[in-house]
Amino acid sequence: MTDIKTVWKNQPMEENSMITLSDIRVRADRFQFRIRLRNGALYLYSLANIALTLWLISRGVSPRYTAPGLLLLAAHLFVIWQLWWRTSARALPDDLVARAALDYHRQELERQRGAMAIIMPFALIAALAFGAFAVDLGHVFLARTELQTAADASALTGAGTLLAGGSTPNWSSASASAATAMSLNSSDGVTLKNA
């Protein structure tokens, strides 16, 4: 067993090199560049989602998606505002001495510490809402295409049997064959019926 006093006296000496003001400014500039790069990427993502949502709302693809689209726009605008407000770096005055600069940067880091923890839940909600919107919109277009295909198939079948028996149109036969063709098609897993 070694004595604590002996361990303390024999420990290696730490080298205490002073950080200069120029080192602090270089590190601060690199840190600020990374913040600007990350913020720029988030701004571009949000602006692209805003533009796409506005385009979909203006096209009137589906009236039931107008309210969620507007909520998505509000969420993205809130995220952009929070990102700008909480993570924008303040300029360092040139006349600060080293100790004041350290205090200034420490305060900036403390101010920005929880910024992403606050912003990310809103960004995730907006991203999930946009993903759900995209999936639902794809489903709407798929059902629309299936219904149009079924209508085209039944119309072509009915038209093919309209003049099958001679020169006079047989409307009852055309209607029956169109109804049969309609019942062979389905949309969204539901077999179509003659209306």
Which candidate, 162, 190, 185, places its Cα nearest to that of 175?
162
Return phi, psi of residue 166, to 5°: 165, -155
H or E element, residue 58: helix 21-59
Instruction: Tell whether 50 is covered by a domain.
Output: yes
Q: Identify the domain containing residue 147 by its residue range.
A: 20-191
Q: For the chain, how many structural domains are there in total?
A: 1
Residues near 188 by Cβ (< 8 Å), separated by ≥ 6? 139, 142, 143, 146
Its pTM stands at 0.40
H or E element, residue 164: none
Instruction: Tell whether 7 is covered by a domain.
Output: no
| Banded model confidence at residue 194, pLDDT cuts 50, 70, 90 | low
Instruction: Tell whether 52 is covered by a domain.
Output: yes
- Residue 158 has a pLDDT of 87
Return phi, psi of residue 18, to 5°: -80, 140
Q: Is residue 158 within 8 Å of 174, Cβ to Cβ?
A: yes
d(CA 170, CA 173): 6
Which candidate, 168, 22, 193, 155, places its Cα nearest to that of 96?
22
**What are the tens digits of pLDDT across the range 13-70?**
767 677 777 888 888 888 888 888 888 888 888 888 888 888 888 887 777 778 888 8
d(CA 73, CA 128): 13
Instruction: Tell whether 39 is covered by a domain.
Output: yes
Instruction: Tell whether 11 is covered by a domain.
Output: no
- Residue 1 has a pLDDT of 53
Return phi, psi of residue 190, to 5°: -110, 130
Instruction: Tell whether 4 is covered by a domain.
Output: no
| Banded model confidence at residue 91, pLDDT cuts 50, 70, 90 | low
Instruction: Tell whether 160 is covered by a domain.
Output: yes
Instruction: Tell whether 120 is covered by a domain.
Output: yes
